[in-house]
Amino acid sequence: MFCSKCGKEISDQAKFCGKCGAKSNIQPIASEGFGRSCNTVVSNESATSNPREKSKKSNKLVIAVIAIVVCVAVVAASLLYLITTSSNNQGTNQGASQQKVENNQSSKVLSTPVAAGSPLAGDDLNLAGLKINGNLEQANSGLGKCQSQKQTREGTVSTYGLTELTTVANGKIINITTEDPKCASARGVRVGDSLSTMTSAYGNSFTKMTAGDLDIYEYSLDYQGSKCVLRFAIKKSDNRISYIGLRNATATDAAYN
């Protein structure tokens, strides 16, 4: 190295020029460099440590948000399931209750039925909860609203679903015919039951006729001065009841005389 004042070459380690005595411009390069290097390393470590901390905090926040969303979704799904289940159960219970009411109204059987297989008696003159020689008010309370009416030679025919009633001028019921499986006879026989079920309930003291694809079985009873007939129409194809009829034959036959 050279002296900055006189230009004489001096040692790189000399602090003063040996010729002019001027102070050399030696800088503690190594020391300063080392300091800068350390400062730089520390600074870099500090710089790199902050993003990591921020990243960790960010990840924790994301996880917390996801956990909250999952919990909310689970709670919402549980509530929806409970509401749906409750609604379905309520609908099922209402349907069962309604069906029970309908069956009670349209499938009435006498509380003290006649013994199975015994001859026809006065208590047998009951079909779909209605008594032959009863009145139309009884039909309206037992079968509900009348859908239609028409005039025939025998009287006024009123339709209640699958059940028809014939009444005369004074409102007396002289004929009941039903194709409704919910409607039962006094001994509990219904449309759809077998021929053997009929004979088990009413015995074999019947009159049999044939009408097309039906066999007609009739049980007769003289009651209060009128001949009453309980009729079962049996399909030949499967020996099951197609319809049940109950009529005051004296009143219906008189319409044609």
Distances (CA, A) of 33 to 14, 36, 153, 157: 20, 5, 130, 121
Q: What angle do CA 140, 146, 152 make, to 5 degrees?
A: 105
CA 90 – CA 14 distance, rounded (Å)? 105
pLDDT over 90, % of the chain = 32
pLDDT of residue 39: 47
The domain made up of 122-254 has a fold known as Pathogenesis-related Protein p14a (3.40.33)
Least confident of 43-47, 90-94, 114-118, 196-200: 43-47
DSSP class per residue in 23-63: BP----HHHHHHHHHHHHHHHHHHHHHHHHHHHHHHHHHHH
Contact (CB, 8 A) for 177 and 245: yes
Please report which helix (H) or strand (E) contains residue 218, including its range.
strand 214-223
Domain coordinates in residue numbering, the chain: 1-106, 122-254
Max avg pLDDT among 89-103, 122-136, 177-191: 177-191
Q: What is the pTM of this model?
A: 0.56
